[in-house]
Amino acid sequence: MPQSLGQIYLHTVFATKDREPLIISPAPPRLHGYLIAVLRELGCPSLATGGIEDHVHILHALGRTRSVAWVMEKLKSNSSRWMKEQRTFGGNRGTLPSR
Protein backbone atom coordinates (compact mmCIF):
# COMPACT_ATOMS: atom_id res chain seq x y z
CA MET A 1 0.00 0.00 0.00
CA PRO A 2 1.39 3.44 -0.91
CA GLN A 3 2.37 5.75 1.92
CA SER A 4 0.51 9.04 2.41
CA LEU A 5 2.39 12.04 3.68
CA GLY A 6 1.13 15.39 4.85
CA GLN A 7 2.54 18.47 6.55
CA ILE A 8 0.77 21.11 8.62
CA TYR A 9 2.26 24.57 9.05
CA LEU A 10 1.22 27.05 11.74
CA HIS A 11 1.53 30.81 11.82
CA THR A 12 1.90 31.52 15.52
CA VAL A 13 1.75 35.03 16.98
CA PHE A 14 2.68 35.86 20.57
CA ALA A 15 1.89 39.32 21.92
CA THR A 16 3.18 40.87 25.11
CA LYS A 17 0.72 41.61 27.89
CA ASP A 18 -1.37 44.67 26.96
CA ARG A 19 0.79 44.90 23.79
CA GLU A 20 3.45 46.79 25.75
CA PRO A 21 6.78 47.21 23.87
CA LEU A 22 8.75 44.87 26.14
CA ILE A 23 10.93 43.06 23.60
CA ILE A 24 13.77 45.55 23.28
CA SER A 25 17.36 45.33 22.00
CA PRO A 26 19.36 43.18 22.30
CA ALA A 27 16.61 40.64 23.06
CA PRO A 28 14.88 40.18 19.67
CA PRO A 29 17.58 38.24 17.77
CA ARG A 30 18.44 36.17 20.84
CA LEU A 31 14.75 35.53 21.60
CA HIS A 32 14.08 34.50 18.01
CA GLY A 33 17.07 32.14 18.10
CA TYR A 34 15.82 30.66 21.35
CA LEU A 35 12.32 30.10 19.93
CA ILE A 36 13.81 28.42 16.85
CA ALA A 37 15.83 26.09 19.10
CA VAL A 38 12.80 25.23 21.27
CA LEU A 39 10.71 24.41 18.21
CA ARG A 40 13.49 22.25 16.80
CA GLU A 41 13.62 20.30 20.07
CA LEU A 42 9.83 19.86 19.97
CA GLY A 43 10.04 18.39 16.48
CA CYS A 44 8.31 21.43 14.94
CA PRO A 45 11.02 23.23 12.94
CA SER A 46 10.68 26.95 12.27
CA LEU A 47 10.66 28.22 8.69
CA ALA A 48 10.61 31.92 9.65
CA THR A 49 10.71 33.80 12.95
CA GLY A 50 10.53 37.54 13.51
CA GLY A 51 8.64 40.34 15.18
CA ILE A 52 8.83 43.73 16.83
CA GLU A 53 8.74 45.16 20.36
CA ASP A 54 5.26 43.92 21.25
CA HIS A 55 4.85 40.65 19.35
CA VAL A 56 6.57 37.73 17.62
CA HIS A 57 5.52 35.87 14.45
CA ILE A 58 6.62 32.28 13.82
CA LEU A 59 5.93 30.09 10.80
CA HIS A 60 6.65 26.52 11.82
CA ALA A 61 5.75 22.94 11.04
CA LEU A 62 3.58 20.88 13.36
CA GLY A 63 5.28 17.61 14.23
CA ARG A 64 3.23 14.59 13.22
CA THR A 65 2.80 13.39 16.82
CA ARG A 66 2.22 16.82 18.38
CA SER A 67 -0.97 18.69 19.16
CA VAL A 68 -1.27 22.44 18.60
CA ALA A 69 -2.18 22.95 22.28
CA TRP A 70 0.88 21.04 23.50
CA VAL A 71 3.28 22.94 21.23
CA MET A 72 1.78 26.32 22.24
CA GLU A 73 2.00 25.44 25.94
CA LYS A 74 5.67 24.46 25.64
CA LEU A 75 6.59 27.40 23.44
CA LYS A 76 4.85 30.02 25.61
CA SER A 77 6.14 28.68 28.92
CA ASN A 78 9.72 28.39 27.64
CA SER A 79 9.75 31.84 26.03
CA SER A 80 8.26 33.52 29.12
CA ARG A 81 10.81 31.82 31.37
CA TRP A 82 13.64 32.82 29.04
CA MET A 83 12.57 36.48 28.93
CA LYS A 84 12.33 36.61 32.74
CA GLU A 85 15.77 35.03 33.07
CA GLN A 86 17.25 37.49 30.60
CA ARG A 87 15.71 40.46 32.43
CA THR A 88 15.31 42.40 29.20
CA PHE A 89 11.85 43.81 29.82
CA GLY A 90 10.98 47.47 29.33
CA GLY A 91 13.39 50.38 29.45
CA ASN A 92 15.21 49.36 32.65
CA ARG A 93 17.50 46.45 32.02
CA GLY A 94 17.80 44.26 35.06
CA THR A 95 14.28 44.91 36.33
CA LEU A 96 10.87 43.63 35.43
CA PRO A 97 8.02 46.08 34.91
CA SER A 98 5.96 46.62 38.06
CA ARG A 99 2.39 45.32 37.99
Domain limits of the chain? Answer: 8-86
Q: How far is CA 86 from the centre of its chain?
A: 15
Place 94 in a pLDDT band, splitting at 50, 70 and 90.
Answer: very low
- Answer with the residue of higher pLDDT: 51 or 3: 51
Question: Percent of the chain, pLDDT > 90?
Answer: 55
pLDDT given at position 55? 92
Task: Give the pLDDT mean for 40-49.
Answer: 96
Report pTM.
0.79
- DSSP bridge pairs for 61: 9
pLDDT given at position 62? 96
Query: Residue 35's CB: how many other CB atoms inside 10 A?
Result: 22
pLDDT given at position 99? 37
Collapsed DSSP state (helix, strand, coil) of residue 20: coil
Task: Give the pLDDT mean for 55-65.
Answer: 95
HSE-CB for 32 with a 13 A CA cutoff = 17
Among 2-6, 14-18, 42-46, 84-88, the range with the most confident prediction by mean pLDDT is: 42-46
CATH of domain 8-86: 3.30.70.1290
Q: Are 40 and 46 in contact (CB under 8 A)?
A: yes
